[in-house]
Structure 1
């Protein structure tokens, strides 16, 4: 499989893991019905894996690791890992404000049918930052680099939960803080969402191999982290 368009992180006979860039849809679905651009699934199939199917989803604006089954008939076997809590996903996010060292967010999230479902996210704060950004009413701003571990897998769960505790993810257009988003986009020139699927860990259901993968965050993060 060529890596010219899609960065391949892992591949075996049954599956592959790629690094999805920000602002690329995983596949065309009901939720992306108004987006006519090429999807990540399209690109992978164009590069030779003709039956590749995503096992889980990432929001269009979220970057990072995503698992594909090489054939549709194998998708269910990999999805059982998620259903049984046998796959570990960790994300990095830049949040507004200073968070405590660690904690959990246990708050229901509404699904596409309008029904609330239990949702749980654990977090660990990795680093605090202060920046001399003038965003009224303050002349200095606080941010936290946070590792997020979703225990459940609801749509927009991490973004909703971050907002729920009043520490929204930077550049989240739906659940974020518009004043901080505006500053990052118009002053710093950073338009991407600061949410990155950094790590995947699972036992391959067909081979029994333990697969543990990590992917560094995209370059645009350094424009904040290294001012």
Structure 2
């Protein structure tokens, strides 16, 4: 599997992570034996990289990795200080038509402690399908832009479910009937959450970095079927 490179300099590499690829091995995913993103990059470049931030296995899109371990904390400081802007695109259940800020706390899976979390949600497009999904005779979907102000685990998935617009393909927090419809009608089993872009001032070079990603193939199919254009 060839990993798409979005940006590279002497300090970092920014790549487009595919769906269902772990960034690195962990206790929570100890039963998954497939190559991780770090494994794939090591094979591709014959060198090691060091993740600066997290991205769920099921989420595709932009992720920043440092070339030297000692540089990780320099870039992580940008995240901790909210000096990095990340934009995600998601397909959710129902018609989502109004901007909203979701600020309900999210529970840490390790400590079981709830932490403050905030996500800005913006509608992009909607689609009504003449395909019945229990308990309705039609099905409705929305394309949305999500900007997290915090970085809690599963934050976007939890927040969208909290406001009754779960992300399609989310088998933990989502709607099984809509997930099943996407499997049956579109042969899609992936989570429709994509880390689309990232912007920040490079802490070493001081250059402004702005990177957008391409979408996975299952997204392109849905864009075509739903007649959605996104640039």
TM bin (shorter chain): over 0.9
Q: CA deviation at 1:129?
A: 0.8
Candidates 117, 120, 123, aligned match of 2:118? 120
Aligned length: 224
Q: CA deviation at 1:77?
A: 0.3
Alpha-carbon distance between aligned partners in 2 of 1:51 and 1:41, rounded to the nearest angstrom: 7
Pair 1:49–1:102, CA change in 2 (3 A):
farther
Contact 1:49–1:70 (Cα < 8 Å) also in 2: no
Q: Provide the residue aligned with 1:204 in structure 2.
A: 202
Q: Deviations over 1:52-94 (max 9, x none)?
A: 1111111111100000000111100000010000000000000
Q: CA deviation at 1:49?
A: 5.5
The TM-score, its normalising length taken from structure 2, stands at 0.94
Pair 1:206–1:33, CA change in 2 (3 A):
same
Q: Provide the residue aligned with 2:229 in structure 1.
A: none
The 5 Å alignment of 1:71-150 reads 71-111=68-108, 112-150=110-148
The TM-score, its normalising length taken from structure 1, stands at 0.95
Please state whether the residue corresponding to 2:45 is helix, strand or coil. Answer: coil
Alpha-carbon distance between aligned partners in 2 of 1:99 and 1:120, rounded to the nearest angstrom: 18
Q: Provide the residue aligned with 1:42 in structure 2.
A: 39
Contact 1:23–1:62 (Cα < 8 Å) also in 2: yes
Q: Provide the residue aligned with 2:228 in structure 1.
A: none
| Structure 1, unpaired ranges of 5+ | none
Q: Deviations over 1:145-176 (max 9, x none)?
A: 00000000000000000000010000101000
Candidates 30, 49, 64, aligned match of 1:52? 49
Alpha-carbon distance between aligned partners in 1 of 2:135 and 2:100, rounded to the nearest angstrom: 28
Q: Deviations over 1:126-150 (max 9, x none)?
A: 0111111111221211111000000
